[in-house]
């Protein structure tokens, strides 16, 4: 079945350092979504990427979707303590009536103030 691999599993940074998490799918995706889950909380939708090679920015967050639509990355510039949490990518292969997201294992980001 479809697998979505995400690395690293954990990342600890000093406040102000950059952070990147990578996501790779075994199959071509219709779109990829990114979520953030704070400790004790539930996943919150961040963004959806649909087009090959797409790049989207949200303030200090930059999301990329690979040309082959099999990989994606999330980059945070100058991390802050509020960025702490687990970042999940989730791939959708169907693009239609069989929509189903497959989540990566997530990257837990901790930030040292």
Partner 1 sequence: GAVVSQHPSWVICKSGTSVKIECRSLDFQATTMFWYRQFPKQSLMLMATSNEGSKATYEQGVEKDKFLINHASLTLSTLTVTSAHPEDSSFYICSARDRAPYEQYFGPGTRLTVT
CA-based nearest residue to 78, from 23, 13, 9: 13
Nearer to partner 1, 49 or 76 (CB): 49
Residues that bind partner 1 (CB under 8 A): 33, 35, 41-45, 48, 88, 90, 99-106, 108
Coil, helix or strand at residue 57: strand
Nearer to partner 1, 36 or 70 (CB): 36
Nearer to partner 1, 38 or 78 (CB): 38
CB of 92 to partner 1, least distance (A): 8
CB of 16 to partner 1, least distance (A): 26
CB of 62 to partner 1, least distance (A): 19
Task: Encode 29-68: b = buried (16+ Cβ within 10 Å), e = exposed.
Answer: bebbbbbbeeeeeebeebbebeeeebebeeeebbbbbbee
């Amino acid at each position: 079945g479809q697998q979505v691999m995400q690395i690293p599993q954990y990342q600890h940074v000093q406040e102000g350092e950059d952070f990147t998490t990578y996501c790779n799918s075994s199959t071509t995706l219709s779109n990829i979504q990114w979520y953030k889950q704070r400790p004790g909380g539930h996943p919150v939708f961040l963004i959806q990427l649909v087009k090959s090679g797409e790049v989207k920015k949200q303030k200090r967050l930059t999301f990329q979707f690979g040309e082959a639509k099999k990989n994606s990355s999330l980059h945070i510039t100058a991390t802050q303590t509020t960025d702490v949490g687990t970042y999940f990518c989730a791939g959708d292969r169907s693009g239609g009536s069989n929509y189903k997201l497959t989540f990566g294992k997530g990257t837990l980001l901790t930030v040292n103030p």
